[in-house]
Chain A
Amino acid sequence: MKAAPSRGVPRPPGQLLRRVAQRFCSRSTLVHVVDPIVADMQHEWDAARERSSTARACVRLAGYAAFGKALALRTLTASGEHLVRNAFGTSREERSFYRRAASTTAATLLLLTLVAVFGSSGSSMRSLAYVITHQRWPGGPAEAEALQRAAAIALRADALANLVPCALLFVLPASVLFGILLAARMSLPEHGPARAPRTRWVGSAALTATIGGVALAGWLIPQANQNYREIVFSSVNRTARAENVPMKGSRELNFGELGAAIQQEKARNGKYVALYRTEWHKRVALPAACTVLGFLAIGLVDPARGRSAFGSAVTAASVGFIHYWLMRVGEQVLMPRGVPPFLAAWSGNLVLAAAAIILIVRRHELARPPEASARPR
């Protein structure tokens, strides 16, 4: 039996983290990544015991941050290696999981992207009609004619095509969640003991979507957004010359340009540093939501609850909506109130990652055989 720590002697930090990691990590990761981080943190904390409580808290925080970052990095690299080694799966069951997840995600993406493109085209039509009517362009038209002109611009094929990348990114996390959820539910055996979806499979599928999403958000979307603005600008303002293209806003800058803009704003103490940094984090946070929601899917698959496609769709739609809403709150409410850009952009992912951890831990507890739960620790 373990001796209880004597009262007054503080316990070194990191023990709970280590216990949590023991549930999820492989032995190699535990021995070579988790234990060294915890050991270094404990020694640093021990050395800081004579110093102030603030210094000790800083040691703790730095250790926890390193722990989170190292585990995230390890998960990403391990999933990437798995994906490269077993691109098409090693077993029939695994191949079938990837095929179902990919086809469901692709079909959902197509459908939701169409809805999102026409939805945003409708809203830009209204704004365009307002601009055409109220900005008094030379020979400004009447309202009905303005609406007609706005519709002609917003429904142009090249304008619609440039809305596709942005719409794709916004619906990607929910589509991935639905794809994984449905594939995982369909993979449950009809007879015999129910099993949860394999973490590695889900990780690989979600990571692929995340990598694709980062490429989309970092380079393709800014270019498409700028193309859209130029098309609309040249259509509305027919007298504009070709060289008078609209200036790029934060959403039209690619990763490199955003980085440069942040440095420039910092150098001149500009007021847009937070805006640019939030946009930068958002470009990573939105695709990373695919991984977060993928792991949430593991927690959401209840082997006892059957294989309902409708249930999966409702769950994915609800979670997707919550995630979108949380990200909007981060961007529209938290960022203007001085919350650090990282937190403002990642708030949705952090909340849902916490939910995923709770659900997975709970599922592990439920899946444990009764004699194992009864065993004294």
Chain B
Amino acid sequence: MVQTRRMPTLSGKEMVILELLLGAHEMYGLELVGASRRRLKRGTVYVTLQRMEEKGYVRSRLEARSEGTAGLPRRLYEATATGRRLFALWTSVRRQLQLEPA
């Protein structure tokens, strides 16, 4: 994880990803796109996930290979404690500022 002194921030896409990951235990990139109802796109989700992993908001692991599956193992993502805390904080700030749609 890259340590920075800057205030941690969450972009709109990062919020969506954390929201989805908090609802499920682990998800892979394409699953996130499918569950996001068009809020995430296939071409951008992987780059966003990489950035979030560098910031320490999510962590990932390779899935265990099952018999008879061809191709590379998928990468599964889950929210870290930092990601969870940041999401909770961000959501409450947004609510307090009434930026959330009613």
Contact = CB atoms under 8 A, between A and B. Distances in A.
Interface of A: 12, 14, 18, 28-29, 32-33, 35-40, 42-46, 62, 65-66, 68-70, 73-74, 77
A252 B41 CA distance: 31
A66 B30 CA distance: 10
Contacts of A42: 70-72
B43 A69 contact: yes
B75 interface: yes
Interface stretch (B47-55, B81-89, B91-99): B47-55
14 contacts: A18-B72, A29-B50, A32-B53, A35-B72, A36-B74, A37-B46, A38-B72, A39-B75, A43-B69, A65-B43, A66-B43, A68-B43, A70-B44, A74-B47
A69 B72 contact: no
Interface string B18-47: 000000000011100000000001111011
Given A32-B53, A44-B30, A39 B74 contact: yes
A296 to B, nearest CB: 23
Contacts of A18: 72
Contacts of A65: 42-43
Given A33-B50, A36-B28, A70 B43 contact: yes
Contacts of A35: 72, 75
Nearest to A11: B70
A73 B72 contact: no
A36 B71 contact: no
Interface residues of B, number: 21
Given A33-B50, A36-B29, A73 B43 contact: yes
Nearest to B53: A32
A33 B47 contact: yes
B44 to A, nearest CB: 6
Nearest to A76: B47
B44 A73 contact: yes
Contacts of B46: 32-33, 36-37, 66, 70
> Lowest 9 A-B CB distances belong to which pairs?
A69-B43, A42-B71, A39-B72, A66-B42, A32-B50, A40-B30, A12-B71, A36-B75, A39-B74
A36 B44 CA distance: 12
Contacts of A29: 50
Contacts of A38: 71-72
Most chain B Cβ neighbours within 10 Å, of A18, A42, A45: A42
B64 to A, nearest CB: 13
A77 B54 CA distance: 14
Nearest to A18: B72
Interface in B54-71: 60, 69-71
Given A14-B71, A77-B47, 12 more contacts: A32-B53, A36-B28, A36-B46, A38-B71, A38-B72, A42-B71, A44-B30, A45-B71, A70-B47, A73-B43, A74-B47, A77-B51
Contact of A46 (B28, B30, B71): B71
Contacts of A68: 43
Contacts of B49: 32, 36
A205 B46 CA distance: 25
Contacts of B43: 65-66, 68-70, 73
A251 to B, nearest CB: 29
B49 to A, nearest CB: 7
A28 B50 contact: yes
A38 B75 CA distance: 10
Nearest to B74: A39
Contacts of A77: 47, 51
B74 to A, nearest CB: 5
Contacts of A45: 71
B17 to A, nearest CB: 13
A29 B47 CA distance: 9
Contacts of B30: 40, 43-44
Contacts of A73: 43-44, 47
Nearest to B76: A36
Nearest to A12: B71
